[in-house]
Amino acid sequence: MSKQSSMKVQWLIISALVFAVITAVFAVINVEAVQVNFLFTTIQTPLILVILISTLLGGLMVFLFSFVRQVQMQRRVKQLEKQLAALQDESSRPTTATESIDGFGREIETSATDRLGTPDEPALSSGPGSLNGDSTDRER
């Protein structure tokens, strides 16, 4: 565990303890009986129980939501690690000499066709000094 992670855990524990002490003091101060109205019934209970149960239910909900989020993130990390491994495997696979030569030949052929043209298409002119030389004559 790294030092930064350890410090983070320590601060989390300290914060939780401070919150627990504040909640306990607040609950002990408020001990009178209160009426809690549910939709179907009403009960009379000490306020300390209402405070403590509400705090515990809130903490439980936060825990469950963070747990679900953590599981989702772990699944996403595993998926991305698989994709990365597949891409690294694909990029480390050596290409055959034929694939390299064929690809290089196509690049030269495409480049030459763009500059010089084909018998059916005129060459691309790039202004004065182009390879076909007649672009400067047409501009005059």
pLDDT in tens, 3-20: 888 888 899 899 989 988
Domain coordinates of the chain in residue numbers? 15-92
Share of the chain above pLDDT 90, in %: 41
Q: H or E segment at 23?
A: helix 3-29
Average pLDDT, the chain: 79
**What's the CA gap between 80 and 83, in Å, rounded?**
5
pLDDT value of position 140: 44
pLDDT in tens, 82-131: 999 999 888 887 766 555 565 555 666 666 566 666 656 655 555 555 55
| Packing angle, helices 47-92 and 3-29, rounded to 10 | 160
